[in-house]
Structure 1
C-alpha cells in the first residue's frame, strides 16, 4: 500500500523540502500524482550544471539557454507564498542580468531566509592565490532590499557593503572568489550586528585580516586559501568559539576570545625553514588556549625547526588533538612535539593521507633515527601515561611509522580505553585486506591498559 501519497499536501511538501532539489525533482517519475508534487519544495537549487551534457571527448557542455528557460518558467508558475532557501549557480551570467534580477525579486517576495548566489567558474583553481581573471558579477540594487535574510552565500559577486545595514537579521555570511579589502570586511562586521558565522574562502588582494569588536557576536570564523598582501591576522571577538584557517604562514594576534576549537592548515606555504618554525610557534601561543586543536602535515614538519624543538612553553590546554598527517619520517618529531605540548590530552585522532605535501629539504632537529622515536629511545610523555583515553586512526595502511606509533600508544597508554583503527579503502597492489591484516597485529601487542578495547574497521 502506498501510504506516502495519501499524506496531506503540507506534510508532503515538508518531506520534499528535506530532499536535495535534484532528488525532489526525480519523484516526478513515480506516478501521475507525483508529476508536479516536487514543485511544492521550499528549497530551490537552480544549478546550470544540472543541465550540462558531455560530448564524445567527455568535456562538459553547458546549455545556458535551456537552464535560463527552466528557471524563468519555474518562477513564473510557482505560487508558493513562502520559500526557505534559494540557490542560483550560474557561471559568468553577464548576459543574464534579467534572470538574476528575477531570482532575487522572487526570493524577496517569498521571504527567503537563506540565499546563495554563485557566479564562479567550476574550472577555477582554489589553490591559485592570485585570484581568477574573470570579472565579478555586480549585484543589482534589488538585492539590498532583502531584509529577512538569515544566511547569505556570495561567490564571485561585487557588492556595496555599506548597503548591508539592511540585513539586520543576518547570522551567517560565506564569501568566495571575491576581491576583499580589510576595510570591506570591517564594514561588513559593523553593519551586520547579529552575525555569528563568517566564512571567507579563495578571496584575494586582502590587506590583512582584522576581526575585532567588543560587541561582535561572531562565534565561527573560517578563512581558507586566501591571498593576503600582508599576512597579519588580528582577531579580538569575545564570543569566538571556532577558528579554521588554511593558507600560508602568517602572524596571528588573537585576544579576548573564548576559543574552544582551532583547525590550522599551512599546506599552501612554499618555504620550510627555521624562521617559519618560530612563526608557527608564536601563532600557536596566540591561538591557544583552546581545548580542541587540529594541525597539518606542514606544521608537524616545520614547528620543531624553531628555537623550541621539544614542545610549547607553557604547555597547551588541549584535550582533543587531531593530526592530519602523511605519517612521513619528517613528521615524527612534530608528532612528539605535540604529545609533549598537550599534557591533558584525552582524545587523539590521527587522520592519514599520504598525498599531503612533504618539504623538499629537511634535517632532523635532534639527529635521532626516526624509528627510535617510538621504540628503544622513546620518551614517554605525561599525556600518554595519565590522561589519554581514546585514539582513532583513520586511513591506516600499515606503513612502518603507522605501526611504530600504534605500538607506542598501546604499549604505554596506561588509561587508554578505546582504540579504533579505520583501514584505508584505497585499492592498490596490497589493498584493504593487507591493511587490515597489519592492523590486526595490534591484538598481539603488550597492552599497558587493562581496560583497552580495540576495534579494527
Structure 2
C-alpha cells in the first residue's frame, strides 16, 4: 500500500521536529554536563532554548587538554609551536568571552580550570588567571577545581609560579569543595580570617601545592564539616595536624614522600573510615600509633613507604579493619596481622620485593592476594 505524498511530508516534518529542545531546562543542563566546554558553546547555535540553557548552566568547565583535543578533531594535523600558541590564545579568549557574556543573575556552582603555565607570555596568563578567579570569588562558587601544570621545565625557584589571588583566598570559607594542583598560597594568608570564621568545605584536595605551616593549620582547624582530605606531594610545612573538631572526616589520603619536610603527622579526628598513606617509616608508624583515628578505620592502604615489620605492632588497635592494601614497600620482610585481624576480609600485597612471610589471624577467611 502506497503512502500519499501529503502523508509522507507530514511524517517527515514530525521527524524533523526538535524534540530535545522541548525538554525541561534541568535535563538540558544534565546533557550539557557531558559535553566538552567548546562543544557546549556550539550548542548555543542550535536554538534559543539551547542558548538560554547554556547561559544558565551552573557549571563552567575550561580544560586546556579538552580544548586542544577538540581543536585537533577539527584540525587532524598535530599543531606545531606556532599553532599551539594560537590555540592557547584562543583558549584564553574563549574563557574571557564566556565570563564576560555570563548574565549577572546566573549563578555558578562549579568552576573548573585547567591551564598550561608555559610559554613566553606567562605574566599575561597569570594576569588572566587572577581575573578569572576573582570572578569565582564574586560568584561565590561552591566547587572549585584549579589545575596549573606546565609543559616546560620550570626555572630555579619557579616550581609554583602561580600565587592564589587574595580575593579567592578570602572567599575560601564559602567553598564546599576545593581541588588545587600546582599553585601556592602566600605566607600568612590565614590572616584574612576572623577568629570565629568557619569553612564550609566538605572536600579538600591539595596536590603539588605550596602552603605555609600557619596557613595549613588555620585552614584545617576551621573545617568542621570536612569529609574527605587529601594532601599529596605538597611543600612548605613540617607538621600536618588534623584536629578533633573534624568529626565528619571519613577519608584521608596523605602522600608525604621520601625526603619530605614533614616531621609530625597528627590525626585526632576519630571517625575516619579510609586511610591511604605513603611516606617514610617514622611518619607512618609514629602518626598511626600516636593518633586516635585508627579505632574506626575499615580500609588501610600503605604505598611507596619505608615501613618495616615493626609497623604491624599497631594493627591490633584497628578493631574494624576489613581491607589492607600494601604496595611498593621495599623494606618490608614480614606481615603479621594477628589479634586485630578478626574482621579482615581482604589483604592485597604487591611489589614488596623483600617480603618473605605473611602471618594472619586464624579466623581469617577472606581474600589474600600477593604479587611480586
Q: Give the TM-score band, short-chain normalised.
A: 0.7 to 0.9
Instruction: Give the SS at the match of 2:141.
Output: coil
Q: How has the CA–CA distance of structure 1 residues 59 and 239 changed in structure 2, closer, same or farther, with 3 Å as cutoff?
A: farther
> Cα offset for 1:169?
1.5
Instruction: Give the SS at the match of 2:230.
Output: strand
Q: How has the CA–CA distance of structure 1 residues 113 and 124 changed in structure 2, closer, same or farther, with 3 Å as cutoff?
A: farther
1:252 and 2:289 correspond: no
Query: For the Cα contact (< 8 Å) 2:21–2:50, is it kept in 1?
Result: no
Report Cα offsets for 1:148-188 as digits up to 9, x if no partner.
Answer: 31111222232213435555322221111123455443222
Q: Which runs of 5+ in 1 are unaligned?
A: 126-130, 270-275, 353-357, 359-457
Superposition RMSD on alpha carbons, in Å?
3.8
1:73 and 2:89 correspond: no
Query: For the Cα contact (< 8 Å) 2:231–2:254, is it kept in 1?
Result: yes
1:186 and 2:220 correspond: no
Select 1:117's aligned residue among 99, 124, 146. Answer: 146
1:348 and 2:367 correspond: yes
Query: For the Cα contact (< 8 Å) 2:297–2:321, is it kept in 1?
Result: yes
Q: Distance in 2 between matches of 1:200 and 1:351?
A: 28
Q: TM-score, normalised by structure 1?
A: 0.60
TM alignment of 1:47-86, pairs within 5 A: 47-52=63-68, 55=78, 61=84, 63-79=87-103, 81-86=106-111
> Cα offset for 1:32?
5.2
> Cα offset for 1:201?
1.3
Query: For the Cα contact (< 8 Å) 1:148–1:169, is it kept in 2?
Result: yes
> Cα offset for 1:20?
5.0
Q: Distance in 2 between matches of 1:97 and 1:208?
A: 30
Select 2:273's aligned residue among 241, 251, 275. Answer: 241
Query: For the Cα contact (< 8 Å) 2:325–2:348, is it kept in 1?
Result: yes
Q: Distance in 2 between matches of 1:283 and 1:206?
A: 26
Instruction: Give the SS at the match of 1:138.
Output: coil
Q: Match for residue 262 of structure 1?
A: 299
Q: Match for residue 346 of structure 2?
A: 321
Q: Distance in 2 between matches of 1:60 and 1:247?
A: 42
Query: For the Cα contact (< 8 Å) 1:94–1:137, is it kept in 2?
Result: no
Q: Distance in 2 between matches of 1:319 and 1:14?
A: 40
Query: For the Cα contact (< 8 Å) 1:28–1:34, is it kept in 2?
Result: no
TM alignment of 1:152-191, pairs within 5 A: 152-159=178-185, 160-163=189-192, 168-191=199-222
Q: Which runs of 5+ in 2 are unaligned?
A: 1-14
Q: How has the CA–CA distance of structure 1 residues 312 and 12 changed in structure 2, closer, same or farther, with 3 Å as cutoff?
A: closer
Report Cα offsets for 1:77-109 as digits up to 9, x if no partner.
Answer: 122521220011223354334422332233334
> Cα offset for 1:214?
5.0
TM alignment of 1:269-418, pairs within 5 A: 269=306, 276-282=307-313, 284=315, 288-299=318-329, 302-303=331-332, 305=333, 309=334, 311-325=336-350, 331=355, 333-334=356-357, 337=358, 340-345=359-364, 347-348=366-367, 350=369
